[in-house]
């Protein structure tokens, strides 16, 4: 599995979903992002079993498909050090070795089997509801109730 992605675009997507990853997970696999590559769509999932956030990136340069669990903290810290540049991810599906090629060199990490990541329960489309809100209305509502939230775990 191989794909090319912008370092800042990937960091932006990972930062948005990283909030759901706890420091004290009951399952070690939940300390990872699930990267799922199908055709030219990279879907990234983060979960704590109660809440799950998913984001997707449309990529132009991909080959292969598959899933791998990527260490979240290590990935976030590493991407913060890169300037805006294309990164090439080359993943060995048998050893789960991840090589990240940048303009300055190569970075290697080891992931985990993506099949070990907990699957999302499917939504019952009959019972599911959709709500569309203007972001300013949602932000206003959050700001008006923020004072009533606790700041401890």
124: confidence class by pLDDT, cuts 50, 70, 90: confident
The pLDDT tens digits of the residues spanning 48-81 come to 988 899 999 999 899 999 999 999 999 999 999 8
Tokens standing for residue 25 = 């997970």
Q: What pTM, to 2 d.p., does this model score?
A: 0.81
* Pairwise CA distance, residues 54 & 33, whole Å: 10
The pLDDT tens digits of the residues spanning 90-113 come to 999 999 999 999 998 999 999 999
Residue 151 pLDDT greater than 80, yes or no: no
Q: Which residue ranges form the domains of the chain, and what is each CATH number?
A: 2-123 (3.10.150.10)
- pLDDT, position 153: 60
Interaxial angle between packed helices 7-17 and 72-81, expressed in degrees from 0 to 180 and rounded to the nearest 10: 140
Helix (H) or strand (E) holding 73: helix 72-81
């Amino acid at each position: 599995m191989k794909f090319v992605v912008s370092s800042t675009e990937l960091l932006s997507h990972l930062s948005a979903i990283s909030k759901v990853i706890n420091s004290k997970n009951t399952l070690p696999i939940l300390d990872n992002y699930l990267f799922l590559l199908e055709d030219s769509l990279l879907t990234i999932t983060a979960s704590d079993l109660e809440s799950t956030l998913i984001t997707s990136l449309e990529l132009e340069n991909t080959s292969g498909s598959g899933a791998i669990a990527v260490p979240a903290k290590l990935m976030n810290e590493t991407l913060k050090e890169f300037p805006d540049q294309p990164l090439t991810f080359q993943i060995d599906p048998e050893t789960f070795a991840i090589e990240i090629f940048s303009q300055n060199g190569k970075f290697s990490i080891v992931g985990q089997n993506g099949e070990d990541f907990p699957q999302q329960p499917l939504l019952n489309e009959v019972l599911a509801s959709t709500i569309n809100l203007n972001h300013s209305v949602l932000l206003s509502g959050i700001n008006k109730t923020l004072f009533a939230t606790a700041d401890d775990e």
